[in-house]
Amino acid sequence: MEEALYKHNFTFKKKYGQNFLSDPNLLRAIVSDAGVDGDTAVLEIGAGAGALTRALSEKAKKVVSYEIDKSLQPVLAETLSGCENVEVVFRDFARESLPTLEKELKGEYLVVANLPYYITTPVVMKFVEESKSCLGLTVMVQEEVARRFCAVAGSPDYGAVTAAIARRGSATVTRYVSRTLFTPRPNVDSAVVKIDFTAGGFAVESEKAYRETVRCAFLNRRKTLENNLMSAFSMPRGEAKELLRQADVPGGARGETLPPRALGRLSDLLFGQRKELFL
Ligand code: SAM
């Protein structure tokens, strides 16, 4: 891989979050964490020099890998030669329509990626909010981001992103990865997070109501949920108090102390009583 990068005069571009992996044990471990087997279709975001793509190709049925940087074309032609089940798409994944892409993938798939750090959260949220046939994501992210994805209610890392992910499934760190395993070496360590859409999620009456309830819960962390409900939905205090009583939320509670399922119950009640807010 390094030889191919050198041969084709490749220069790393910080703006694209280019920190490549090459350790074969780590690459195999990521593929194994993801649960990829011969029946799995994989979507990768950021092929880079193709190290993870090749490891995925050895286990998966097929791999579709996006790469924004066209200067990697000759490198990937070399490093992925003979990988017949890989298709590299040289486009900006952030601009892709997920419904269209899912039609093209024709069935269930897993996302496995060493994500470019500058778009980690928007990419993950795209799958959390829009995917229909994605079974889950196994992604390398900065350690701090991993903590946010997997946080428990009431902890400083718990936030709107945690609650959004938890509605779709379970999120766990499968391994911590030292910065020394990346080229070039970033300033922070990383972790692999597995977000499993097939386990641990829950249904809500309205996804929009849940999103708005979560937004409201974290609107102002220093304020009580009652006060945040009043500001977010222009709700009289009496109505906010009654809603929280029905949702079994103690008076004076802050939004960040409510676990995702409690936020789901609150959003269902709110949707039942004030549908017009979410049309
Ligand atoms: N998978 C490779 C590996 O593990 O060595 C590369 C990972 S590197 C962290 C992220 C890769 O994503 C880079 O190759 C970068 O050019 C690519 N990338 C950055 N932004 C992208 C985008 N919007 N769409 C597709 N690829 C992108």
| Structural domain boundaries, residue 245 | 207-278
Q: Quote the pLDDT of residue 220.
A: 93
Average pLDDT score over residue span 154-171? 98
Q: Quote the pLDDT of residue 160.
A: 97
Half-sphere exposure of 202 (CA within 13 A, CB side): 16
Distance 117 CA to ligand 1 centre (A): 9
Cβ neighbours for 180, distance < 8 A, ≥ 6 positions apart: none
Q: Quote the pLDDT of residue 279.
A: 85
Q: Quote the pLDDT of residue 94.
A: 97
Distance 17 CA to ligand 1 centre (A): 7
- Whether 142 lines ligand 1, by a CB cut-off of 6 Å, is no
The domain tally of the chain equals 2
At 168, list the tokens: 């779709």
Res 65 pLDDT > 90: yes
Please return the burial class of 213, using the count of CB atoms within 10 Å of its CB with bins 0-12, 13-18 and 19+.
Answer: buried
Within 10 angstroms of residue 273's Cβ, the number of other Cβ atoms is 13
Amino acid (one-letter) located at 193: V
- Whether 131 lines ligand 1, by a CB cut-off of 6 Å, is no
- Whether 67 lines ligand 1, by a CB cut-off of 6 Å, is yes
- Whether 19 lines ligand 1, by a CB cut-off of 6 Å, is yes
Res 168 pLDDT > 90: yes
Percentage of residues in the chain having pLDDT higher than 70: 100
Distance 201 CA to ligand 1 centre (A): 29
What does the longest C-alpha to C-alpha distance in the chain come to? 70
Write the CATH number for 93: 3.40.50.150
Q: At 66, is the pLDDT very low, low, confident or very high (cuts 50, 70, 90)? A: very high
Average pLDDT score over residue span 33-42? 98
- Taking a C-beta distance cutoff of 8 angstroms, is the pair 186, 214 a contact? no
Name the DSSP letter for residue 49.
Answer: T
Both 141 and 257 in one domain: the answer is no
Write the CATH number for 252: 1.10.8.100
Which atom of ligand 1 is least distant from the CA of 16? 19
Cβ neighbours for 202, distance < 8 A, ≥ 6 positions apart: 167, 260, 261, 264
- Whether 183 lines ligand 1, by a CB cut-off of 6 Å, is no
Final residue belonging to a domain, choices 196, 230, 247: 196
Q: At 106, is the pLDDT very low, low, confident or very high (cuts 50, 70, 90)? A: very high
- Per-residue pLDDT reduced to its tens digit, 195-212: 999 999 999 999 999 999
What is the CA 237 to chain-centroid distance, rounded? Answer: 36
- Whether 52 lines ligand 1, by a CB cut-off of 6 Å, is yes
Pocket perturbation via mutation, ligand 1, pick of 18, 56, 63, 88 by most ligand atoms within 8 A of CB:
18
Both 54 and 130 in one domain: the answer is yes
Res 1 pLDDT > 90: no
Both 227 and 187 in one domain: the answer is no
Res 81 pLDDT > 90: yes
Both 187 and 236 in one domain: the answer is no
Res 138 pLDDT > 90: yes
What is the separation, in whole angstroms, between the first and last Cα of the chain? Answer: 52
Average pLDDT score over residue span 44-56? 98
Q: Report the predicted TM-score, pTM, of the whole model to 2 decimal places.
A: 0.96
Which atom of ligand 1 is least distant from the CA of 21? 5
Both 212 and 187 in one domain: the answer is no
Both 190 and 212 in one domain: the answer is no
Q: Whose CA is nearest to atom 20 of ligand 1?
A: 16
Look over the chain and give the mean of its residue pLDDT values, rounded to a whole number: 97
Q: At 237, is the pLDDT very low, low, confident or very high (cuts 50, 70, 90)? A: very high
Q: Whose CA is nearest to atom 6 of ligand 1?
A: 48
Q: Quote the pLDDT of residue 255.
A: 96
Average pLDDT score over residue span 69-94? 98
Final residue belonging to a domain, choices 196, 228, 256: 196
- Whether 219 lines ligand 1, by a CB cut-off of 6 Å, is no
